[in-house]
């Protein structure tokens, strides 16, 4: 299943994995979020759900609205077949008009900074190509502060930075999850989804100019 989002001369197309739901809102209204949630829940097998359908609709709608408050370009969430939330993928773009984007090494340093968490162990860093564009990937086990600052909890974090062809813009993708018992499975699913991303250039009228470079 394909899903996409567009912003500032680019469209980002993804092939959604079987456990992923597109949570991207265009208007950010409660009605839009609830309609998206109802549509998403229809794809679950009711015989496998561990929660009531109505409760799942409310949960997805609430999560969708909360994420939209930060105005992301694209959002998807991973759920088990039982309707249990696992992870969310958020894509944003970063650019200073007229200023070249930082180097790969500088971007890696930025990706290694978690404002609300600390790294546990050694991060895993790789350079790769996504949609024909240079990209970097950072994976790490992190310790996040609990609510009110009491104690910490472990989570897995995956970050990607994709260098877009205008030389100024970076597409940043951030994914994290706490279900460490299925971490390898989730990591593979995220990698597959990110590698499926196609960056499509658009003209001023929103028509396609090309894909990637």
For residue 198, being part of any structural domain is answered with yes
Question: Residue 54 falls within a domain, yes or no?
Answer: no
CA atoms within 13 A on the CB side of 101: 23
CATH number at residue 138: 3.40.1000.10
15: in domain? no
Residue 119 lies in a domain: yes
pLDDT at 91: 96
Residue 7, in any domain of the structure? no
Residue 133 within a domain: yes
CB 159 within 8 A of CB 187: no
pLDDT along the chain (213 residues), means of 10: 76 89 93 96 94 96 94 94 95 90 94 84 93 95 73 88 93 94 93 93 76 51
How many residues comprise the chain?
213
Q: Domains in the chain: how many in total?
A: 1
SS3 assignment for 4-16: EEEECCEEEEEEC
**Domain limits at 176?**
91-203
Residue 52 forms part of a structural domain: no
pTM value? 0.89
C-alpha 194/C-alpha 198 separation (Å) is 9
Has residue 1 been placed in a domain?
no
């Amino acid at each position: 299943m394909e899903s996409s989002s567009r912003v500032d001369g680019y469209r980002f197309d993804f092939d959604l994995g079987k456990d992923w739901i597109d949570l991207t809102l265009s208007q950010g209204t409660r009605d839009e979020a609830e309609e998206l949630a109802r549509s998403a829940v229809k794809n679950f097998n009711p015989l496998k759900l561990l929660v009531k359908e109505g409760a799942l609709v409310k949960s997805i709608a609430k999560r969708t609205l909360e994420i939209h408050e930060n105005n992301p370009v694209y959002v998807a969430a991973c759920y088990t077949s039982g309707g249990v939330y696992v992870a969310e993928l958020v894509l944003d773009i970063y650019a200073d008009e007229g200023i070249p984007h930082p180097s790969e090494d500088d971007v890696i340093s930025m990706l290694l900074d978690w404002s609300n968490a600390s790294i546990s162990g050694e991060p895993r860093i790789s350079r790769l190509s996504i949609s024909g564009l240079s990209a970097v990937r950072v994976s790490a086990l992190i310790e996040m502060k609990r609510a009110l600052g009491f104690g910490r909890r472990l989570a897995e974090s995956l970050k990607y930075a994709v260098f877009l062809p205008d030389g100024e813009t970076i597409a940043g993708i951030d994914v994290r999850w706490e279900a460490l018992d299925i971490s390898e499975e989730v990591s593979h699913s995220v990698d597959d989804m990110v590698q499926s991303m196609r960056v499509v250039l658009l003209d001023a009228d929103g028509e396609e100019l090309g894909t990637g470079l």
